[in-house]
Structure 1
């Protein structure tokens, strides 16, 4: 794969980050309180209604009775993050739902910037909404980046363990990120660090050693009754070092896509958007009784 194709997603992510940081400098984005989207239809509902195949609240599946809730990453949203994976699941008979969370006032499209503990409350309300609509006792959750880590707060502190069967995470920030060493620069620019902490806590909550992560990981990575799968790439340039994504504990499986296919060049964004190796491993985690070997 040409080098420019590999770095294009990163350039888009960095551009999005610049837009988000610029937005929080504006008066309209002075508050980091997330919007309440639990009761209102989210943007992905339109995707399902227009033929995308997911967020169909009438969906029933005898083959896969547990709905799958997709949780986007930082600066993502309920549609764009899942344009590859959601249809992949729908074609395999899953009922698929996705939410927006962590919105900042005045910042459209780029979500996941609000306090992660508050975002977990939005996930909690959304899971209840999906369970009520489908009649399912439990759901499975699949997340990307922050969306792979944030549900652990829901499981551990908000009663989610009783409502979730499995958590599958693409490139999660489970133990924080150094952002390829860039977070160390915050020590030299305390004013910038303060602005980020006050206005985009969803970013600073994910930095290695943050108060949020210290509390989340205190006493162990997992809770009883939930199966955990982490799917990582050694070429991750955002959730770094990539081994910090791994979890420890019972019912945990940590997968590196290059261990399965050494020629896989996916990085942080593409592992959740286009990587069929990662997709196949995720489906194996959702339905382990019918798992099949992953091939390149």
Structure 2
């Protein structure tokens, strides 16, 4: 009887989660003391606030607020310059939490500075898993309409991207994952996000600026960084 009641309660919880668009708890990878803190890196012409929904979902799944760090930066500057800031933020998050590694979740252009960091600046021991949501990893034609240093670096065939993608696209002992949507609307071509050596996921029809807010994508990302 007790077992039947437990299954009934779980079924009700799963149904309720489906109604509000949340990931099913039957497949939840909730926080444990061994979970890594998470650094969030936003994209061009954005800010730390773009992560509010995802951060709140991680908190609801048990991540302490001290383990969730989103920061803002100047999105006009070179992604190589921003990579220096990413490096500082990683070190600060490690020092604050006492953890040995962090996970990095990025949206759009945030994937480029963090990839530069992983390739050129990061100690192998500091980062475990890296996520790119709609990243212009091989460039996007949308960047042809803006002229800042960062935008030029996002253009297809840019010197910055050619250097970043030379050799191993997923270097180091890090675990890489990318998510791309057929309805992105900003990353053109959509398959620009794919990286050789990464776990590459094609989502349902989700617009670029909603990739970090979509409940299904959140569940996939959460389970990827916290298997």
TM-score, normalised to structure 1, is 0.63
Equivalent position SS for 1:85: helix
Which among 247, 263, 268 is matched to residue 208 of structure 2? Answer: 268
Q: What is the aligned partner in structure 2 of residue 246 from structure 1?
A: 194
- Residue of structure 2 equivalent to 1:281: 220
Answer whether contact 2:181 2:206 (CA < 8 A) is retained. yes
Q: Does 2:41 match 1:71?
A: yes
Residue among 85, 89, 98 paired with 2:58: 89
1:127-142 to structure 2, matched below 5 A, reads 127-142=90-105
Coordinate RMSD, CA, aligned: 1.6
Off by >6 Å, runs of 4+ in structure 1: none
Instruction: Indicate if the aligned counterparts of 1:149 and 1:169 stay in contact, CA closer than 8 A.
Output: no
1:113 and 2:113 correspond: no
Task: Provide the rounded CA distance (Å) in 1 between the counterparts of 2:193 and 2:169.
Answer: 11
Unaligned runs of 5+ in 1: 1-60, 104-111, 187-192, 259-264, 289-296
Displacement of 1:224 after TM fit? 2.5
Question: Within 5 Å, which residues of 2 pair with 1:59-208?
Answer: 62-79=32-49, 81-94=50-63, 95-101=67-73, 103=74, 112-179=75-142, 183=144, 196=147, 200-208=148-156
Q: Is residue 189 of structure 2 the alignment partner of residue 256 of structure 1?
A: no
CA positional deviation for 1:90 = 1.2
Higher relative contact order (CA 8 A, sep 6+): 2
SS in 2 for 1:76: coil
Alpha-carbon distance in 1 for matches of 2:34, 2:189: 35
| Separation of aligned partners in 1, 2:180 and 2:202 | 5
**Which stretches in structure 2 are left out of the alignment for 5+ residues?**
1-30
Counterpart contact for 1:161–1:223, Cα < 8 Å: no
Residue 235 (structure 1) shift: 0.5
Shift in alpha-carbon separation, 1:237–1:88, aligned structure 2, 3 A: same
Change over 3 Å in CA distance of 1:239–1:226 after alignment to 2: same
TM norm structure 2: 0.81
